[in-house]
Amino acid sequence: MKRIYFDNAATTALDKEVLDVMLPYLTEKFGNPSSIYSYGRESRLAIENARKSVAKILNAHPGEIFFTSGGTESTNTTVSAAIHNLGCRHIISSEIEHHATLHSVEHAHSKEKIKLSNVRLLSNGHVDMEHLRELLANSPERCLVSLMHANNEIGNLLDMHAVGNLCKEFDAIFHSDTVQTVGHYPFDLRNTPVHFINGSSHKFNGPKGVGILYVNENVKISPFIHGGSQERNMRAGTENVYGIVGFAKALELATTHMDEHSKYINDLRMYMMDELKKQIPDVGYNGDLYGRSLYTVLNVSFPKTEKSEMLLFNLDINGICASGGSACTSGADAGSHVIRAINSDPNKIAVRFSFGKDNTKEEIDMVIAKLKEII
């Protein structure tokens, strides 16, 4: 059976060119970067070249880029640093953040008695900027604002400059979870009012288990993980050399082909949206599809019936990979916290289709034909 993969917001296939640059560091170039002899120096050079490459692409300083195990570690590091190093006693976030953020801020609230507020959401799922201003203006404590750049389930895009400028006005720390957008959108961090962002290479055809944390050079923080002097004393543990090399190469390739891939992928998304509308009655869409929206994600709302309740299962047995919201909780039968927050209609079933550069219109036609059969 031919498998059709429409869950690229969960993870992407490793690019062959990325694997090629990683392989030497999995085989003959195996040195520990902390060692002073040639094997170690070779690995150290690879890491620092990767750091320079990532910094240049994001228009940041190499000293602002720290390699981590991925977006989740980067977010946890940020929340901990904001509380313990930067004097934040009030966190402002939203109900539709990734669980890496939701669970981190809830932990800080319950264990460390940090005040926690959720900014209101507009009917289309965007942040209510007036309410954010109100929360900041009325907070006697210094705030950490943690709001994601693109929602991983519905695709809504945050205006990072607007939020960052508001944070600047009220001396708040601003963290944006950019896991869905690093590698998919251009960044100019020298000219973006943000203190922390994070990235994860498996979202743009790089390896799993490696990410970055950007820490603005004006912010001084302590390590989250202790035990060694790696990452300039900021992140203990022997570096994931082949992962770091793979991250840099994947980001370089994604940036080189960004214009053509983003247009191609968005055309696929809008083609599927149009065809679904034509061929399946009462279909709808979650999020701001026609406005500020991530070009890789289409969140479709199907009428709830006996058949559609088993939709993901039936797609899977027909070789079609899609998600009922965030893949990070796909094993739990809890439904999507994002869909609950923006659309409480119990008569709808939400399915996220997310596209990559290797998907085709023919695959979309096959999926829609199967959806018509199932529903």
Q: Which residues are catalytic?
A: 328
- Which residue's structure tokens are 């944070």? 167
Provide the β-strand partners of residue 199: 212
Segment 281-285 long-range contacts (CB within 8 Å, at least 24 positions apart): 284/348
Strand order in the sheet with 211-215: 65-68, 211-215, 196-200, 173-177, 142-146, 88-93, 115-118
Would you state the structure tokens that stand for residue 166, as one six-digit string? Answer: 């508001």
Tell me how far apart the alpha carbons of residues 42 and 239 are, in angstroms, rounded to a whole number. 13
Q: At what angle do helices 16-26 and 241-256 cross, to 10 degrees?
A: 160
DSSP string covering 153-170: TT-BBP-HHHHHHHHHHT
Q: Which helix (H) or strand (E) holds 250?
A: helix 241-256
350 class by beta-carbon count within 10 Å (0-12 exposed, 13-18 middle, 19+ buried): buried
Provide the β-strand partners of residue 284: 301
For residues 21 and 246, the answer to whether their CB atoms sit within 8 Å is yes
Provide the β-strand partners of residue 212: 67, 199
Q: CA Rg, the chain, in Å?
A: 21
Tell me how far apart the alpha carbons of residues 291 and 286 are, in angstroms, rounded to a whole number. 12
Count, residues in the chain: 375
CA 4, 8, 14, 15 dihedral sign is positive
Provide the β-strand partners of residue 150: 157
- Looking at residue 15, the DSSP 8-state letter turns out to be P
Which of 119, 181, 108 has the alpha carbon at shortest distance from 145?
Answer: 119
Indicate the residue type of 15. D
